[in-house]
């Protein structure tokens, strides 16, 4: 979500005549798009921001520093910036991105700090420019905000309530992207399963209806989406994996914990059993589907036995991959107030044990690909070796192979010759 917001910000700056430079030291304007999901991100942000103080003192009005993103939505962060980093020129929230050009004009004209942060906002601003990271693939926001209030999470407070875009607007955006060379889209939302679009004539459109509409767009090859909440994952969506050829066989389904008691305290509103049933149905509809997840260890009150339930669940589901997180206390969330916080050392120990299990399974799952032939959408050269190119299978596995520039954005057939924990190796088959 933040990455896509950054693309929008870059697009707006480009329209204003700015150009991208590689290092902050060469820039006339620096914008921090912040994340507040865990404390680490908070800390890193303030550290990096502090490093710009000297440049600001030297270059004064010739150098503009802006802060936006989820952290900018929190009053205590705004107060800290005002007190300790008073040289920051512009602060704008996640609901105010579209105002950036105006805020910069005001800053230059009025020579005065600009702060624009709405606590919450209903509307959606359409038609903002975007500077895509890739020519052949694109993010597409279908909704904003979150209504779920998981007890550990700051997102509903920083990104506001759920708002869905109109299906026509999404379809038109995707058609324009396809006309511009995009073959793969990633639909974005905090909980795409609860997308509730409405056509201009008032008819409703749920997430699966939207997938069917997009599946019909000529020239589009792959549809991905992120993120899904298990409580809203319908049979209708699961069935779409049978019907929609362009829907990639990859599902990111955050479980967060393997114990129904912990899930209840997290306010996730599903049980371990329900989650396992969803996984079973997904595999029934698409046997080759890759499944990944998010897991938090050390949620307040989590016992060793409850943690073992998470380990067992991972072994049962056999995830292709997982994002694992140490529980991080977030100011203003219900879990912050709990007195039974898990000691750091225990959290770290559980985290390491979980990663071992996840990595072992990822490694085994990747090894199953060796000897198969995969359709790989080529993304670009690898950072380490210019002859090696990387691309993704339908199931989102990263495959490295010897390739060439002309192949970027094309789908090639690759025979998988090797595997490790995080990627596959292969060779292109010329047929
Ligand atoms: N809306 C998505 C993901 C949002 S944030 C969803 O519900 O799945 C991405 C991930 O960050 C979450 O899935 C969760 O695993 C993790 N996360 C959120 N808050 C956290 C916290 N306070 N501490 C540790 N991890 C957290
Ligand atoms: Fe946070 Fe839960 Fe909303 Fe995801 S669904 S953004 S974890 S509150």
List, for residues 240-296, the tens digit of each pLDDT value: 999 999 999 999 999 999 999 999 999 999 999 999 999 999 999 999 999 999 999
Nearest atom, ligand 1, residue 154 CA: 19
Percent residues over pLDDT 70 in the chain: 100
Closest ligand to C-alpha of residue 158 is 2
37 CA → ligand 1 middle, Å: 7
What average pLDDT does this structure show over 150-158? 96
Closest ligand to C-alpha of residue 157 is 2
Query: What is residue 42's predicted lDDT score, i.e. its pLDDT?
Result: 84
Each residue's pLDDT tens digit, 371-381? 999 999 999 99
Q: In what order do the strands lie in the sheet with 321-326?
A: 250-252, 290-297, 321-326
List the beta bridge partners of residue 295.
256, 324
pLDDT band of residue 316 (cuts 50, 70, 90) is very high
Find out whether 176 and 182 touch, Cβ atoms under 8 Å.
no
Whether the predicted pLDDT of 115 surpasses 70: yes
CA–CA distance, 351 with 94 (Å, rounded to integer):
31
| Pairing verdict, β 290-297 and 184-188 | unpaired
Q: What is the DSSP letter of 230?
A: G
199 CA → ligand 2 middle, Å: 26
Give the binding-site residues of ligand 1, using a 6 Å CB cut-off: 37-38, 152-153, 155, 190-191, 227, 229, 254, 256, 294, 296, 325, 327-328, 330
229 CA → ligand 1 middle, Å: 11
156 CA → ligand 2 middle, Å: 7
pLDDT band of residue 41 (cuts 50, 70, 90) is confident
Average pLDDT, the chain: 96
Closest ligand to C-alpha of residue 146 is 2
What average pLDDT does this structure show over 306-317? 98
CA–CA distance, 187 with 135 (Å, rounded to integer):
16
Query: Residue 293's closest CA among 357, 349, 235, 336?
Result: 357
Whether the predicted pLDDT of 334 surpasses 90: yes
**Which residue's CA is minimally distant from atom 8 of ligand 1?**
254
List the beta bridge partners of residue 66.
31, 90
Nearest atom, ligand 2, residue 267 CA: 2
Query: What is residue 43's predicted lDDT score, i.e. its pLDDT?
Result: 87
153 CA → ligand 1 middle, Å: 6
**Which residue's CA is minimally distant from atom 10 of ligand 1?**
294
260 CA → ligand 2 middle, Å: 17
Query: What is residue 122's predicted lDDT score, i.e. its pLDDT?
Result: 82
**Which residue's CA is minimally distant from atom 21 of ligand 1?**
328
The 3-state DSSP class for residue 219 equals: coil
Each residue's pLDDT tens digit, 393-430? 999 999 999 999 999 999 999 999 999 999 999 999 98
332 CA → ligand 2 middle, Å: 14
Q: What is the DSSP string of 356-388?
A: HHHHHHHHHHHHTTTT-EEEEEEEEE-SS-TTE
Nearest atom, ligand 2, residue 159 CA: 6
CA–CA distance, 254 with 37 (Å, rounded to integer):
15
Q: CA neighbours within 13 Å on the CB side: how many for 266?
A: 26
Closest ligand to C-alpha of residue 150 is 2
**Which residue's CA is minimally distant from atom 24 of ligand 1?**
327
Percent residues over pLDDT 90 in the chain: 94
Task: Calculate the CA 332 to chain-centre distance.
Answer: 23
Query: What is residue 194's predicted lDDT score, i.e. its pLDDT?
Result: 97
List the beta bridge partners of residue 322.
293
Find out whether 324 and 292 touch, Cβ atoms under 8 Å.
no
Each residue's pLDDT tens digit, 203-233? 999 999 999 999 999 999 999 999 999 999 9
* φ, ψ dihedrals at 121, nearest 5°: -160, 140
Top mutation candidate among 3, 36, 37, 38 for ligand 1, by most atoms within 8 Å of CB: 37
Give the binding-site residues of ligand 2, using a 6 Å CB cut-off: 146, 148-150, 153, 155-156, 190-191, 229
Q: Please give the torsion angle defined by the CA atoms of residues 109, 101, 59 and 56, in that order, rounded to the nearest 10 degrees.
A: 110
CA–CA distance, 285 with 411 (Å, rounded to integer):
24
| Pairing verdict, β 196-198 and 204-206 | antiparallel
**Which residue's CA is minimally distant from atom 1 of ligand 2?**
153
294 CA → ligand 1 middle, Å: 7
Q: What residues contact residue 291 under an 8 Å CB cut-off, 6+ apart?
A: 250, 251, 252, 253, 279, 282, 283, 317, 319, 320
Nearest atom, ligand 2, residue 190 CA: 6
Q: What is the DSSP letter of 218?
A: T
CA–CA distance, 314 with 359 (Å, rounded to integer):
11
What average pLDDT does this structure show over 380-390? 90
29 CA → ligand 2 middle, Å: 32
Query: What is residue 323's predicted lDDT score, i.e. its pLDDT?
Result: 97
pLDDT band of residue 76 (cuts 50, 70, 90) is very high
254 CA → ligand 1 middle, Å: 8
**Which residue's CA is minimally distant from atom 2 of ligand 2?**
150
Query: What is residue 431's predicted lDDT score, i.e. its pLDDT?
Result: 66
| 186-197 burial code (b ≥16 CB/10 A, e <16) | bbbbbbbbbbeb
Task: Calculate the CA 172 to chain-centre distance.
Answer: 22
| 206-232 burial code (b ≥16 CB/10 A, e <16) | bbbbbbebbeebeebbbbbbbbbbbbb
Query: Residue 194's closest CA among 156, 151, 139, 237?
Result: 237
């Amino acid at each position: 979500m933040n990455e896509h917001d950054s693309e929008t910000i870059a697009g707006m700056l480009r329209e204003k005549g700015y150009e991208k430079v590689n290092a902050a030291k060469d820039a006339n304007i620096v914008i921090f798009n912040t994340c507040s999901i865990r404390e680490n991100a908070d800390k890193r942000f303030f550290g990096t921001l502090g490093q710009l103080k000297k440049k600001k003192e030297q270059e004064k009005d010739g150098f503009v520093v802006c802060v936006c993103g989820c952290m900018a939505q929190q009053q205590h962060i705004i107060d800290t910036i005002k007190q300790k980093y008073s040289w920051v020129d512009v602060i704008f929230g996640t609901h105010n991105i579209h105002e950036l050009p105006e805020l910069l004009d005001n800053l230059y004209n009025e020579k005065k700090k600009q702060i624009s942060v709405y606590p919450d906002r209903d509307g959606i601003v359409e038609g903002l420019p975007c500077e895509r990271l890739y020519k052949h693939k694109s993010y597409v926001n279908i909704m904003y905000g979150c209504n779920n209030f998981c007890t550990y999470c700051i997102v509903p407070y920083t990104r506001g309530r759920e708002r869905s875009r109109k299906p026509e607007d999404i379809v038109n955006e995707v058609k324009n992207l396809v006309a511009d060379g995009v073959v793969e889209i990633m639909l974005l939302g905090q909980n795409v399963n609860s997308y509730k679009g409405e056509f201009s004539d008032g008819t409703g459109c749920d997430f699966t209806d939207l997938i069917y509409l997009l599946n019909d767009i000529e020239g589009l090859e792959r549809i991905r989406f992120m993120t899904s909440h298990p409580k809203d994952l319908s049979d209708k969506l699961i069935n779409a994996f049978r019907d929609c050829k362009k829907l990639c066989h990859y599902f990111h389904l955050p479980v967060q914990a393997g114990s129904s008691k912990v899930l209840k305290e997290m306010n996730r509103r599903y049980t371990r059993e329900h989650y396992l049933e969803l996984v079973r149905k997904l595999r029934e509809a698409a046997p080759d589907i890759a499944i990944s997840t998010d897991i938090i260890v050390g949620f307040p009150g989590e016992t060793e036995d409850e943690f073992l339930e998470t380990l067992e669940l991972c072994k049962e589901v056999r995830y292709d991959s997982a994002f694992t997180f140490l529980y991080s206390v977030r100011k203003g969330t219900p879990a912050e107030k709990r007195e039974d916080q898990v000691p750091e050392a225990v959290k770290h120990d559980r985290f390491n044990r979980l990663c071992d299990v996840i990595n072992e399974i990822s490694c085994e799952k990747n090894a199953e690909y060796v000897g198969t032939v995969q359709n790989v959408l080529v993304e670009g050269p690898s950072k380490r070796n210019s002859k090696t190119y990387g691309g993704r299978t339908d199931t989102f596995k990263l495959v490295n192979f010897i390739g060439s520039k002309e192949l970027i954005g094309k789908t090639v057939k690759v025979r998988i010759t090797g595997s490790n924990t995080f990627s596959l190796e292969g060779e292109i088959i010329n047929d």
